[in-house]
Structure 1
Amino acid sequence: MGLPVFSKCCCLELKWGALIVAIVDLIFCGSAAGHSAIIRGRDLLNILWYVAVLLHLAHIIACILVIVSVWVPKKEFPCVYLITALIRFIFDIIFVIFIIIEFGFEGDYLITAIIILIYIALTVYFWLVIYSYYRKCGGHTPAD
C-alpha cells in the first residue's frame, strides 16, 4: 500500500493547488521562524534557535522552488520541498516538545507552541499535495 495521491487540491487542478500550498506554507514558515526567536537566551537555546531558523529558511527556499515549478515543470523542484518538509516536520515536533518542557504553558511560549502545532498539522496535508504534484510531474518513487 502506497501513499495517497491526490488528483485535485482545493477543487482546483493539482498544479494550482500546489501553488496555493506553497504560498500558504511560505507564510506559515516565515511566521514559525519569526516566532521561534522567543526562546533565545542561554547557549543551548541560541543553538536551537539558529538551527530552527536555518531549517525554516531552507524550507522557504523549497517553497519558492515549488512556486517556480508551477510555471517551469521540473520534478527536482518539488523533490527539494519534500525533503526539507520532512526534516522540518521532525525538528518542529522536537522543538514543540522542548518549548513545552522548558517553558510550560504560559504567555508567549504558549502562542509559539500553538502556532508550531498548527503548522505541524498542516504540514502533513501540504506534504501529500506536493508529493502528488511531484508524481504528476514525472517523479518516481520506489512504490512505482
Structure 2
Amino acid sequence: MGIPVMKRCCCLELKWGALIAALVDWGLAGTLVGMTNYAYLAAAMWYVAVAVHVAHVVGCILVVASVFVPNKKLVMVYLITGIIRILLDIAFVIYLCIEFFENLLVAIIIGIIGLILAVYFWYVIFSWFKKLGGSAPVDI
C-alpha cells in the first residue's frame, strides 16, 4: 500500500508545485535559522536546530535542481532533512508551550502554522519523488 501521492499541486503540474514548495520552504528554513534565538534554547539544541535547518536549505536547493534535471536522488536529501526538521519543530513548539505560553503566544501560533506548511511541503516533494521514479508509481 503506502502513502498516497498527489498528481497535481494547487492546479499546477506537480513539477511546478514541487518547485514552488521548495522555494517557499527554502525561505522559511533560512528565515528560521536567522531568527533562532540562542537565549531560548539550550546550547546543544540550538546547534542541532541550526545544523538541521542548514541541511534542509541544501535539500531545498537540490529539489529545485531536480525540477530542471529530473533525478530522484536529489530529492532524497530534502525528504530526510524534512522529517528531521518536522520532528525538531514539533519539539520546539512543545518547548514553547511548556516554558513560555503566556509570553510567546504569537510565536507558538507561527510555529504551528510553520509546522503545518512544512508537512504539506514535505508531502508535495514526496509526491514529486514518487513521480520521478520512487519505489511506487504515481499514476495508479
Same fold by TM-score greater than 0.5: yes
Match of 1:137, SS? helix
Pick aligned residue for 2:60 from 53, 63, 72: 63
Paired with 1:32 and 1:51, the residues of 2 have a C-alpha distance of 13
Contact 1:32 1:115 in 2 (8 A): no
Cα distance in structure 1, aligned partners of 2:22 and 2:65: 10
- Paired residue secondary structure (1:140): coil
**After the TM superposition, which segments of 4 or more aligned residues of structure 1 sit over 6 Å from their partners?**
none
The residue aligned with 1:51 is: 48
Q: Distance in 2 between matches of 1:104 and 1:112?
A: 9
Query: Structure 1 stretch 88-97 or stretch 28-37: which is displaced more?
Result: 28-37
Unaligned runs of 5+ in 1: none
Alpha-carbon deviations, 1:32-66, whole Å to 9, x = none?
222322xx238x62221111111111101100000
In structure 1, what is the Cα distance between the partners aligned to 2:34 and 2:92? 14
Deviations along 1:62-86, one digit per CA (max 9) or x if unpaired, are 0000001001111011111111111
Paired with 1:48 and 1:105, the residues of 2 have a C-alpha distance of 22
SS in 2 for 1:3: coil
Cα displacement string for residues 91-122 of structure 1 (whole angstroms, at most 9, x for unaligned residues): 1101111122122231xx33433322111111
TM-score (norm 2): 0.88
Give the aligned partner of residue 2 of structure 1.
2
Match of 2:80 among 57, 80, 83: 83
Q: Which runs of 5+ in 2 are unaligned?
A: none
- Cα RMSD for the two superposed structures: 1.9
CA offset at residue 17 of structure 1? 0.5
Of 89, 95, 100, which aligns to 2:97? 100
1:58 and 1:87 map into 2 onto residues whose CA distance is: 10
Give 1:35's aligned residue.
Answer: 35
Matched, 1:131 2:123: no
TM-score by length of 1: 0.86
How much has 1:26 moved relative to structure 2? 0.8
Q: Which residue of 2 aligns with 1:121?
A: 116
